[in-house]
A and B are shown apart, each in its own frame.
Chain A
Amino acid sequence: MSASIAGSLRFVQQRSILVLVALLVALAALIEVIRPGAVNANWVSNILEFAAPLGILAAGQTLVVITGGIDLSVANVATAAAYIMASQAPYGPTRAIVLGLLVGLAVGFVNGLGVALFKVQPLIMTLAMGLVVTGSLNVYGQFARGVPSVPAVVHELGSGTVLGYVPVSLFLWSAIAAALVLGLRGTGFGRLLYALGDNLEATRLAGVHAWQVLLTTYMLCGLFSAVAGIVLAGTVNAADLGLATVLLLPSVAAVVIGGTSIFGGSGSYSGTIVGALILTVLNSVLTLLDVPDPVKQVLYGAIIILLAAAYTRVLGRD
Chain B
Amino acid sequence: MATATMDRAKARTGFNAARAVRRYGWTFAVYLLFVVLMVVTVIIKPDYGTFEWNTLTLAALPLAFAAAAQTMVVLSGGIDLSVGPLMALANVLALRAMVGHDLRYSLGVAALVLLVVTIAGAVNGLIIVVTRVPDIVVTLATSFIWAGLALLVLAKPTPGIPFDFQDLAQGSAVSPWIPNALLLLLVVPLVWMPLRRSRAGLSIYAVGSDRNAAFRSGVNLAWSRILAYSACGFFAACGGLALSMTTGIGSPLAGTLYTLSGVSAIVLGGVSLAGGRGGMLGPVGAAYILSLIPAVLIYLGIDPNYGQMIQGLLIVIVVMIGGLGAVLRRA
Contacts and interface: CB of A to CB of B under 8 A. Distances in A.
A305 B148 contact: no
A127 B260 contact: yes
Interface in A57-98: 70
Interface stretch (B17-25, B227-235, B299-307): B299-307
A249 B326 contact: no
Interface in B287-307: 303, 305-307
Contacts of B150: 294
A247 B324 CA distance: 32
B306 to A, nearest CB: 6
B312 A128 contact: yes
Interface stretch (B26-34, B53-61, B130-138): B130-138
Contacts of B79: 123
Interface residues of B, number: 46
B195 interface: no
Interface string A298-313: 1011101100110111
Given A249-B141, A298-B145, A131 B323 contact: no
Contacts of A138: 305, 308-309
Given A132-B312, A293-B151, A249 B136 contact: no
A118 B308 CA distance: 23
Interface in B266-305: 267, 273-274, 303, 305
A133 B312 CA distance: 8
A111 to B, nearest CB: 10
Interface of B is mostly: helix
Contacts of A120: 319-320, 322-323
A131 B319 CA distance: 14
Contacts of A130: 260, 312
A278 to B, nearest CB: 14
B42 interface: no
Contacts of B264: 127-128, 131
Interface in B306-320: 306-313, 315-316, 319-320
A190 interface: no
Interface of B: 79, 127, 131-134, 136-138, 140-145, 147-152, 260, 263-264, 267, 273-274, 303, 305-313, 315-316, 319-320, 322-324, 326-327
Interface of A: 70, 110, 114, 117-121, 123-125, 127-136, 138-139, 142, 248-249, 252-253, 256, 262-263, 292-298, 300-302, 304-305, 308-309, 311-313, 318
